[in-house]
Amino acid sequence: MDVVAEAIEKAAKNSDKYRSIQVEKLIELEYDLGTLLASDTNELNVKGIRSDKEKYLMSLARDNTQLLFNKLWELPTETVEDAVVVRLPTPRYVLPREKPVPKPKPLTKWQKFAKEKGIKKTKKAKLTWDDVLKKWVPLYGYKKASAQRDKDWVLEVPQNADPFVDRFADKSTLKKEKVAKNEYQRLRNIAVAKKIKIPRVGVLPAEKPGTDQLRTAANVARVSTASIGKFQPRLPREKSSVSADRALPGVRKRKLPHMRPTEEKKSNMNIIDSILNKRPKLDVEKAVNKQIFREQQEASSEKKKTQGKGKKRSTFGNKKGKGAGKRPGAKPAAGKGKRNKVGGRKRR
C-alpha cells in the first residue's frame, strides 16, 4: 500500500508540472490548418499584461498552440515508413506579399503585330511530306538539313546572272545572315523586356577586335565627353582622324549657320538651278589637253604604220644584231674599226 500511495503522490506532483491539454476560450479561435494558423479574437487581459507581461504572453501563446495541435490531431493520419503523418488541407488564408505583384512582360514586335492583325498561333505538325524526295521530312533538325541537301543537289542559274558565281555559297551566306538577324531581334526583345538601355552607338565586344573596330572605339571614346571631344588632349603617337563623326553611325548632320533672307534665297536658287539644268561643269584647259594628247597618239600610230610599209633587207645567215645584213668576209667601213686610233694621219 505504501508503494501505491507513493506512486499516486508522484503522479500528482507531475500533474502540477504539466498543464492540461484542454483549454477553454470565450470565443473559439479561427483556424487555417493549411498554413498552420490560429487567430485569437478574444480580448487581452490588461491586468495580466501590466503585472507580468512576459509571463502572460508565454501563457497565451502556449494555450493557442495547444488548441492548434488539438485540431491537427483531429485530422486523419497515415503511416508512411513507420512514421505517422497528416495531410494538411488546402490553405484558405491569403498571406500578404513582401514585394508587389510582378508586371506582365511587354509584348515583342511580332506579338504586337499578331495581336493587331488577329493572328493566332496554331500547332504545326513536326513532319511534312516532300513531293520531290517522296518521304516525310522534319520541319527542323539535322535530318531537315540533310534532306534539303539531297533535294537541292543542283541549283538553277538565272538568265541574267553570272554563271561563275557559287550559288551554294550564296545560299549558305544568306542563311547565316537570317540566323544572325533573328538572334539580333531576340536579344533586342530581351533588352526591351528587362528595360535595359541600349546605347545608340558603340562597338560590340569581340575576342579579337580588328583595326577598324579599335579605331571606331577610340573615336567613340573621344567624342563621348561633354565638349564632344573638342578639348580632349591627344595621346602620344595618336594619328589625327579626318572626322571622328564618320566613325559614329547615326550621328545627326550639323545644322547650317543662320543666314540672311537674301543669302538664303540665293543659295536655294543656286541649288534649284543646279538640279534643273544638270549641266556638267566644263574644264576648258583639261579638255584642250585631252584633245592634244589624242592627236599626238593618232599621229604617232600613223607614223609607225608608214615606217612599217618599207621593204625589209635580207640578212645573211639569219643573223641578228650589228652584223646582220652583211655578207661574210666583208671589210669593215673606214673609220669604224675597233682599234684605238692615235692622233695623226695613217702612213702606208
**From CA 281, how far away is CA 279, in angstroms rounded?**
6
Residue 163 is assigned to a structural domain of this protein: no
pLDDT class of 102 with cuts at 50, 70, 90? confident
The residue count of the chain comes to 348
Q: Any idea which residue has 503522479 for its cell?
A: 11
* Three-state DSSP string of 221-261: HHCCCCCCCCCCCCCCCCCCCCCHHHHCCCCCCCCCCCCCH
Say yes or no to pLDDT of 174 above 80.
yes
**Domains held by the chain: number:** 1
**Considering Cα of 63, then 69, then 71, then 73, what sign does the dihedral take?**
negative
Residue 148 is assigned to a structural domain of this protein: no
* Displacement of CA 328 from its chain's centroid (Å): 86
Residue 170 is assigned to a structural domain of this protein: no
Pick the residue with more confidence: 237 or 113?
A: 113
DSSP state, 143?
H
Residue 35 is assigned to a structural domain of this protein: yes
Give, rounded to a whole angstrom, the gap between the first and last alpha carbons of the chain. Answer: 186
Residue 247 is assigned to a structural domain of this protein: no
Q: What is the pLDDT of residues 36-91, one digit of tens each?
A: 999 898 988 888 888 988 999 998 999 999 999 988 888 888 888 888 888 899 88
Write the CA distances from 207 to 187, 199, 204, 210, 213, integer angstroms: 19, 20, 10, 10, 12
CA dihedral 325, 328, 334, 335 (to 10 degrees): 70
Residue 36 is assigned to a structural domain of this protein: yes
Residue 31, domain extent: 2-86
| High-pLDDT (> 90) share of the chain, % | 9
